[in-house]
Structure 1
Amino acid sequence: MAKERHPSIQTGPPRPEAAQTLLALLHAQGEVARLSEREQLYSSLLDSVNAVLWAFDWETRQVLYVSPAYERIFGRPASLVMADYNEWRDAIHPDDLDYAERSLAQVLLQGTVEDREYRIINGAGEVRWLSDKCYINQQREGERVIIVGIAEDITEKKQLEGELQRLATTDVLTQSSNRRHFFECAQQAFDRAREDGTPMAFLLLDIDDFKHINDSYGHPEGDQVLQRIADSGKAVLRRGDLFGRIGGEEFAAVFPGCTAQVAEQIAERLQREIQRLSFTYGQQTYGVTVSQGLTELSDQDTDLDNLFGRADAAMYQAKRQGKNQIVRG
């Protein structure tokens, strides 16, 4: 006797519409998985980038997006800047705020600004340098203006640049300006004084009998003398004056906006400060003196070399007259 087939149980291949539904479901699950993987990949990439990706609505002054690096670089919660753009403004170094805002506005005219560099003060109170490039993301006329950008922390690069600049412009032994940098700055001061019609004084200073110090006590002792005299120069000179070591035992100073009378008072203070220095070698104590030549800018001076030449001649006259004195030339 034949077995009776239950009407609800389907045998044989599935109906075509059921197969299509199953395939669609499997395809959808695959798309979801791929989207999830892609989202995880994007998230991982954004986490690894040490720069802040950001988007800003120009009209509403609203930050639309900041990447995870914002909290690492700014040291502040991202939720605060998303709620109030002033959080970003308040983090900018006060001396750089005007520039940061003006350079951001330039993107409206140029479409892109790639040379913005400014400082921020992060949540820990540290000063950081940012290179902040920005672009307009407006596709069609009439659409709202969205500015997007990438702010990279370049603090280490700036520190390296500063150190290289210091090495290029500083005398290694005395930490004062080296000859090349001193004369570059002196030339700029000379040009400004000529253009503005303001006074300027030039001073040369040479250590008396320095060869005797090196021969008697050794070069390390001579190096200490140079360092102490450089320290005295930096302590006595005014803010804005230039001071540098331009030769073995020779130093120079430029006094912008200063007459020879006022510059001579400063040179006298420096002379007294150096005379008070005391050095010890073994059981022996000794001091040092300097000879100084001073001159000022005149209407006939067309070149910095004119001042340098007169100051040099005055300094050698001070040597011939017995040393340890100031001669004006």
Structure 2
Amino acid sequence: MNDANFDYDSYCTLLHAMPLGVCIFDETYVIRFWNRCIESWTKIAATNIVGRNLAEFFPHLLEPKFTSRFELIFQGGPPVIFSARLHGSIIPSSLPGGMERLQHTVARAFKEKTSRQNAVLMTMQDVTEAHMRLRDYARMHATAQHEVEMRRKTEAVLRESEERFASAFEYAANGMALVGLDEAWLKANHALCAMLEFGEHELIGKNMCEFVLPEDTELGARQKERLLLGHVKSYQVEKRFVTRSGKSIWVLLSVSLVRDEKSQPSYFITQLENVTKRKQLELELYILATTDHLTSISNRREFLSRAEHELHRCRRQGTMLAFLMLDVDAFKLINDTWGHSSGDEVLKAMVETCRAILRSTDIFGRLGGEEFGIVLTEVERGEAEIIAERVRRAISELMVKTENAVIQFTVSLGVAFLSDGLNTVEDLMRRADAALYEAKTKGRNQVFVAGDKQDLCPPPRVQRVS
């Protein structure tokens, strides 16, 4: 195709059909051509802008940073590229959503055929979508790089954490173990192996219950169930373990649960602390707090507490209960004649005699001085009277050898039974004490049984001297 067959109108038709914004202006910046594409972008019709100065519509193009480059073009210089990223839009326009359209502009000089004047042809390509894709790609790339870096840091932190855990696990002062949901040992540290006197290879795969006393295996079962259900984060329980040498030790287990990425139970982390010494100390303190130091039976507080508990049980189950008050006859005379050490020997011998007669379910305690209390559980009246008489007779036959003499002594007993009118241990004890007073006043060395409706005089509120 040659110029003869391709006239000015054909060029204009071609430029109007291009998907690029096309603008032509001369050396005086008068616009000579304005195609339909740039019309649609700027909403400025060609009839309103052609023949008018560019500065009327776009004064920023007369700034030195633009005019200096246009002058170079007019002087025969090479085409000039205006990058959207560096120079913005040469001919500003907006997209339908209000966003500024980004343009890539190329300006080149040519000489008009008719006027032989220099002119500039500017072609503007809409690169908004391309820039948005590049921006999204850059953002995605930056995000991916950030995620990779964060993953690398997370893996490093996790690796460091695992190393710290492994070190803390292996060299912890207390026993540490990983235990499966079936309670099989998965891993055991040095302290645990030393505590149980087994090597780790001897523990792995075996059930933890194999090392626990049979009567303690079910301890903590309810807490374990709550832990698996997610109701608690951890629990503690004390159990007795058996070492290789057969020694029984008390162990405090602190148990927590590890879950997998789907929050399903995976395995237990268990800390095992040997608390045998503490349990022994607790037992010693309990004995000191509840036991009479001379006779090794319950002291007054422990006796009354156990008696109260037994009374409530009998009330619930509708069973009979007998309360016995026992007092050593003429005990002051024994102390005054043979000394307090002899009196102590008398009390200890009397207690041992009673314990040999009483049943394991009965409650026996020292109330103070030479006065003792006995609670016979689930016993009929006749049986209670027989037991009381057996106690009295056995003690009367005792011959207690002391450093100073061989002492024979007697006791008196008062017996009261649980009935509708007696609701507390204090009520029973007062009635049994009144019966004991009757036994004393009737000559000692005898058993007096209080009837349900029998009126008894309470003992005088002074210390009784036999």
Distance 1:111 1:188 in 2: 33
1:288 aligns with 2:288: no
1:213: Cα distance to partner? 0.2
1:244: Cα distance to partner? 0.5
1:302 aligns with 2:459: no
Distance 1:96 1:280 in 2: 45
**1:169 — aligned with what?**
290
**1:57 — aligned with what?**
180
SS of the aligned residue for 2:218 comes to helix
**2:205 — aligned with what?**
83
What amino acid maps onto 2:413 in structure 1? Q
1:90-169 aligned within 5 A: 90-109=210-229, 110-141=231-262, 145-169=266-290
| 1:157 to 1:61, Cα distance in 2 relative to 1, 3 A | closer
| 1:118 to 1:281, Cα distance in 2 relative to 1, 3 A | closer
**Superimposed CA distance per residue, residues 172-221 of structure 1 (whole angstroms, 9 cap, x where no aligned partner):** 11111111111011111111111221110100000000000000001111
Q: 1:241 aligns with which of 350, 362, 365?
A: 362
1:139: Cα distance to partner? 5.0
1:283: Cα distance to partner? 6.8
| 1:320 to 1:74, Cα distance in 2 relative to 1, 3 A | same
Distance 1:144 1:236 in 2: 56
Distance 2:276 2:222 in 1: 22
**Superimposed CA distance per residue, residues 84-133 of structure 1 (whole angstroms, 9 cap, x where no aligned partner):** 2x2x2111111111224444333212343333111112221111111101
Identity %: 33
What amino acid maps onto 2:394 in structure 1? E
| 1:270 to 1:113, Cα distance in 2 relative to 1, 3 A | farther
1:316 aligns with 2:437: yes
What amino acid maps onto 2:187 in structure 1? Y
1:188-227 aligned within 5 A: 188-227=309-348
When structure 1 is superposed on structure 2, of 256-265 and 213-222 the one drifting more is: 256-265
Distance 2:188 2:233 in 1: 19
Distance 1:281 1:170 in 2: 24
**Superimposed CA distance per residue, residues 216-244 of structure 1 (whole angstroms, 9 cap, x where no aligned partner):** 00111111111111112222110111000
1:70: Cα distance to partner? 2.0
**2:132 — aligned with what?**
none
Contact 2:227–2:235 under 8 Å retained in 1: no
Contact 2:325–2:414 under 8 Å retained in 1: yes
1:71 aligns with 2:71: no
1:279: Cα distance to partner? 2.4
Q: How many residues align?
A: 287
Distance 1:147 1:214 in 2: 64
**1:266 — aligned with what?**
387
TM-score (norm 1): 0.81
Unmatched segments (≥5 aa) in structure 2: 1-159, 451-466
**1:21 — aligned with what?**
none
Unmatched segments (≥5 aa) in structure 1: 1-34
**2:167 — aligned with what?**
42
Contact 1:111–1:135 under 8 Å retained in 2: no
The structure with the largest alpha-carbon Rg is 2
When structure 1 is superposed on structure 2, of 72-81 and 277-286 the one drifting more is: 277-286
| 1:111 to 1:56, Cα distance in 2 relative to 1, 3 A | farther
Distance 2:401 2:179 in 1: 66
What amino acid maps onto 1:98 in structure 2? E
**Superimposed CA distance per residue, residues 276-295 of structure 1 (whole angstroms, 9 cap, x where no aligned partner):** 22124567432010000011
SS of the aligned residue for 1:99 comes to coil
Higher helix share: 1
When structure 1 is superposed on structure 2, of 280-289 and 212-221 the one drifting more is: 280-289
TM-score (norm 2): 0.58
Contact 2:223–2:235 under 8 Å retained in 1: no
**Backbone CA RMSD of aligned residues:** 2.2
SS of the aligned residue for 1:90 comes to helix
**Superimposed CA distance per residue, residues 262-317 of structure 1 (whole angstroms, 9 cap, x where no aligned partner):** 12222222122212221245674320100000111112222222211111111111
